[in-house]
Structure 1
Amino acid sequence: MKKKRTQERIGSIELAKGPALCPGVPRGLGILILALLLPILACETGHPLAKESANLTEDFAGNRALRIDGYNEANSVLRLIYRKLPETTLYCQCSFDPNSKYSSGSCPFRPRDSSDQRERHKVHWEHIVPASRLGKSRTCWQDAICHRKDGKPYGGRSCCRKKDRLFRAMESDLHNLRPAIGEINRHRQDYNFGDISGERREYGPCDMEISSENDLAEPPESARGPIARSYLYMESAYGIRLTAAERSQYIKWHRKYPPEAPEIARDLLIRELQGNSNPYIHGYDQTNLLDSRSKNPDKEGHSAEPPPNPGSCLLL
């Protein structure tokens, strides 16, 4: 039944089978035009979308309604999204087939380990905010509250998927999942993002640097805006705690690298499927007070006040 429900949901926005978004305009271009125009139209007085977007409670509820119920369902839905959008992988900007999830020849990535190159070109759906960070404060992650068939207790990710509804909502939230080359996904592990001294180019022309010595990953500039907006969204939607330094960094990236048309189009499709937008994308220009929270960190360096709600209208 769950598989059928997923197929029905996907079928409901199967754009390739429906009418063109704009008659006479290629479908892919139509999506980008829609991404540019829809937020502007929403700002018009009396437009129904303006009223809907003005109330951000729904957006900041995240995936709590579990319209995307679990990581496996998220995997299926993401395949659909990336069949509709011209986006590439997050870190190396590789084009890829969302069905087979393998990158094509148009890719600057070079495997660090020359063996088994095909497997290292496989694309994974990466959690920008790592799953371990989503779950480490949950009882199901910390304690062995689940039991296998032989009676042996266990905890961690598998237990949280089974016992914790909020963890399932966070783990499968589409706004926090992006395509990434498998080898880079494995090497990044659950490292935080930041600056790494020097210029390690271990993946060929792809400007992704990972330091296992410092448990740190430095993404290319093209990925910094989407990464920042994922972290800020997960903080606002689920209370994932950022240190003052982290929040300051992500606000800077968010402002320096604003959302472009493919990111906006992706957000619109996710809204159709999951039921909410990322306000840091569709309300980009209204987030000018974001850094007010970082001025009063608590004893652990965390921001003390709840984040202000960004506005609902995007002026490009």
Structure 2
Amino acid sequence: MMHLIYALALLLVSSVCLATPPASFPEAKVIAKQKVYFDQANSPMGELYCGCQWTWVGKSGGRIDAASCGYETRKQQNRAERTEWEHIVPAWTLGHQRQCWQHGGRKQCINADPVFRAMEANLFNLYPSVGEVNGDRTNFNYGMTSGIPAQYGQCQTKVDFKNRTAEPRDDVKGLVARTSFYMFDRYNLHMSRQQQQLLMAWDKQYPVSAWELERDVRIAAIMGHHNPFVTGERQWRLGYKPVGDGIVSSLPRANVHSSAATEAGSHEASGSIIGNRNSRIYHLPVGCPSYDKVSAKNQVPFSSEADAQSAGYRRAGNCS
């Protein structure tokens, strides 16, 4: 039955014209409301962490219906009353493995790194959630929270502040696992062995649901590709080697150009070319797979390729 549902879903997405992926996180939130979660505010699935229903407010916000899920505020009343857009894989985790984070945190990544902007705006990684739980989870990894009592009334998600872990409710553990696999795979990120083992267990224990399939189809119609860990095209195994197909593709439209000359100009404007003082080789933020592998102590920033070449540097041979 599940295969039939997905076959019909694939037929549906193949019959529509693909939209352009969002170019920024603010744009992604609006598109997520309009085209992915537009009919989910009163669905039995509810928001991510507690299954609460909500009422849409403004372009992409919402007000939580606490009674619908038995939610009780732990500490932050204002955030408990509103929905926020949770990055299932935190923006901190995404950015911390990019060089830009070392040079100014999230703001620098947004300004200088088109790959980070693509990660931050990736619709597969976004889900409405109770603001308070989103804030409590912060950038913690997922984990088991044995011994932690209920913190939000009847909400099953728990946060272990001491050990910096968060355990989502059972209904979304599989979705969380497969979304994490997708993000780490697409953007060539490193995942600890312990996190891999946990998410692999959740992936197996909580198989793809009808809603997760439908969500995948809706997002694919915008992003132009599916989550292969939902469709079954890929399977995460211990020691899996990420493909990294999002490093040089599916970038925000403001950073994708048809001509090499225009592309070079965009690199120069960003001021994010990185040279390696030891090898005398420079790397561009897009199309150069070793861009984020230059150690901080060896980095030499350049505002343009001309500046780098004038200083005696040459472009890395593995740049596309």
Q: 1:79 to 1:272 in 2, by over 3 A?
A: same
Corresponding residue of 1:261: 210
**Distance of 1:207 and 1:186 partners within structure 2:** 16
Deviations 1:209-234 (A, max 9, x none): 11111111121211211110111001
Q: 1:214 to 1:174 in 2, by over 3 A?
A: same
**Distance of 2:106 and 2:20 partners within structure 1:** 17
Q: 1:261 to 1:110 in 2, by over 3 A?
A: same
**Distance of 1:162 and 1:66 partners within structure 2:** 21
Task: Give the counterpart letter for 1:137 in structure 2.
Answer: Q
In 2, are the aligned partners of 1:228 and 1:251 still within 8 Å (CA)? yes
In 2, are the aligned partners of 1:36 and 1:261 still within 8 Å (CA)? no
- Structure 2 counterpart SS, 1:290: coil
1:72 equivalenced with 2:26 (yes/no): yes
Residues matched between the structures, number: 234
Of residues 120, 136, 154 in structure 2, which corresponds to 1:171? 120
Of residues 241, 247, 258 in structure 1, which corresponds to 2:190? 241
Deviations 1:244-288 (A, max 9, x none): 2211211111111112111111111111112121111122xx55x
**Distance of 2:52 and 2:9 partners within structure 1:** 33
Q: What is the aligned-residue RMSD (CA, Å)?
A: 2.9
Corresponding residue of 2:227: 278
Percent identical across equivalent pairs? 32
**Distance of 2:190 and 2:95 partners within structure 1:** 12
Deviations 1:126-173 (A, max 9, x none): 011110111112222101xxxxxxxxxxx1111111110000000110
1:125 equivalenced with 2:112 (yes/no): no
In 1, are the aligned partners of 2:89 and 2:180 still within 8 Å (CA)? yes
**Distance of 1:136 and 1:71 partners within structure 2:** 17
Corresponding residue of 1:39: 6
**Distance of 1:308 and 1:259 partners within structure 2:** 23
Corresponding residue of 1:220: 169
1:195-206 matched pairs, under 5 angstroms = 195-206=144-155
Quote the offset at 1:180 in angstroms: 1.0
Normalised TM-score (structure 1) = 0.67
Quote the offset at 1:191 in angstroms: 0.4
1:95 equivalenced with 2:53 (yes/no): yes
**Distance of 1:103 and 1:271 partners within structure 2:** 27
**Distance of 1:42 and 1:268 partners within structure 2:** 6
**Distance of 1:213 and 1:254 partners within structure 2:** 26
Corresponding residue of 1:211: 160
Normalised TM-score (structure 2) = 0.66
Q: 5+ unaligned residues in a row in structure 2: which ranges?
A: 246-320
Corresponding residue of 2:236: 290
Task: Give the counterpart letter for 2:166 in structure 1.
Answer: A
**Distance of 1:271 and 1:94 partners within structure 2:** 25
Q: 1:308 to 1:118 in 2, by over 3 A?
A: closer
- Structure 2 counterpart SS, 1:83: coil
1:140 equivalenced with 2:95 (yes/no): no
Q: 1:216 to 1:49 in 2, by over 3 A?
A: closer
Which has the greater radius of gyration?
Answer: 2
Q: 1:306 to 1:185 in 2, by over 3 A?
A: closer
Question: Which one has more relative contact order, counting CA pairs under 8 Å at least 6 apart?
Answer: 1
Quote the offset at 1:75 in angstroms: 0.8
In 2, are the aligned partners of 1:290 and 1:307 still within 8 Å (CA)? no
Corresponding residue of 2:312: none
Corresponding residue of 1:251: 200
